[in-house]
Amino acid sequence: MTILLAPMEGLLDFVLRDILTRVGGIDRCVSEFIRITDQLLPERVFTRIVPELLNGGRTLAGVPVRAQLLGSDPVCLAENAGRLAGLGPAGIDLNFGCPAAVVNRHGGGAALLDEPETIAAIVRAVRRAVPAHMPVSAKMRLGFNDDARALDCALAIAESGADELVVHARTKAQAYRPPAYWDRIADIRAVVRIPVVANGEIWTVDDARRCRQASGCHMLMLGRGAVTDPGLALAIKADMAGASLTPLPQLSPGISWAALLPLLGAFWQVVCSRLDSRSRAGRLKQWLNFLRRRFPEAEAAYQLLKPINDPALVGEWLAVTLRAQRAPPPEIAMSQLAPLLIAA
């Protein structure tokens, strides 16, 4: 069982990659996309989006990170892949799945799923441009408006030199609406000769079981499910192994709110050290918004912090909560923070 952490623009960036890989269970990450248009990017652009390149291509927890490129020009993508390869990522990934309209209007991401020939040209060019030992992978959806060309696109990727294929089991038109069509991944596995990773709508251990059964994949990629439940990768592995996996003493499959709180503190430290002050409160609230699907305590925290944009107040709330050690009822943290909120 191999579990990958998905790339998600605007959400799963280096900050969350750092924190989620500290929990354990994640074997590899893929960065959010680096958009390639018509120029050779300077190295600082790659390291800004994927700062793990400055740490041997790994998160601080030691989990390898593949850097993802998005674009539609095979020559320009190949030139940038060559420069990126020199920075030592754990591999290079190609994005054929982004559903964002602004990306698709310029012929990138999922828009290429109507052009398997262009996909093949991109994969071939990038494969030739990077060292033979460096993996080149790709991520695709089942199609743009429908899945009629899903097998064509998968074959274009596999037969043009990619080492691995991640399939998000929905079309661009289906966006992120459930369900994910995991059985179509099985159809793709039947025609390609490279490893296939199943992705889409894996929120729980039971989802992971059903995805494996329907797709036949032994490799899974988690996105929003891992953001919502940081212990999900561990829980899936423990379920598959029939044993408890505890890489950190305070964590166990099915992570508790008390165990999660120190990670929230670490997340806030990274946010405050790496992001500008205007973005800090929003980043914590963004994660709490996902966490409240899994943790009632996160719902209370989110509602409290929702109107607050001052990072000093957010930091004070977090400090008060962390000092209580065992995750006090949210109303305790609220009452202790009330004088500050009134003063503000």
Q: Which two tokens stand for residue 260?
A: 């999660």
Active site residue 153: no
Q: Which ranges in 141-295 belong to alpha helices (H)? A: 150-159, 182-189, 205-215, 224-228, 232-241, 257-274, 277-291
Pair 233, 222: CB distance under 8 Å: yes
- Phi and psi of 320, rounded to 5°? -60, -45
* Torsion, CA 202, CA 203, CA 209, CA 212, rounded to 10: 10
Q: How many helices (H) and strands (E) does the chain have?
A: 15, 8
Question: Taken in order 73, 6, 54, 133, is the CA torsion positive or negative?
Answer: negative
Question: 98, 153, 211, 217: which one is catalytic?
Answer: 98
State which amino acid sits at residue 38: D
Let me know if 163 is exposed, middle or buried by CB neighbors in 10 A (0-12, 13-18, 19+): middle
CA separation for the pair 128, 73 (Å, rounded): 15
Q: Tokens 């000093």 sit at which residue?
A: 312
Measure the CA angle with vertex 322, ends 340 and 204; round to 5°.
Answer: 115
Farthest CA pair distance, the chain:
64
Tokens 């990629």: give the residue.
221
d(CA 88, CA 25): 23
Going by the DSSP 8-state scheme, the letter that residue 51 receives in this structure is G
Q: Which helix (H) or strand (E) holds 321?
A: helix 311-323
Q: How far apart are CA 22 and CA 263, in angstroms?
A: 8
Query: How far from each other are the two terminal CA atoms of the chain, in whole angstroms?
Result: 50
Match 């280096």 to its residue by tokens.
Answer: 14
Q: Could you give the residue numbers annotated as active site?
A: 98
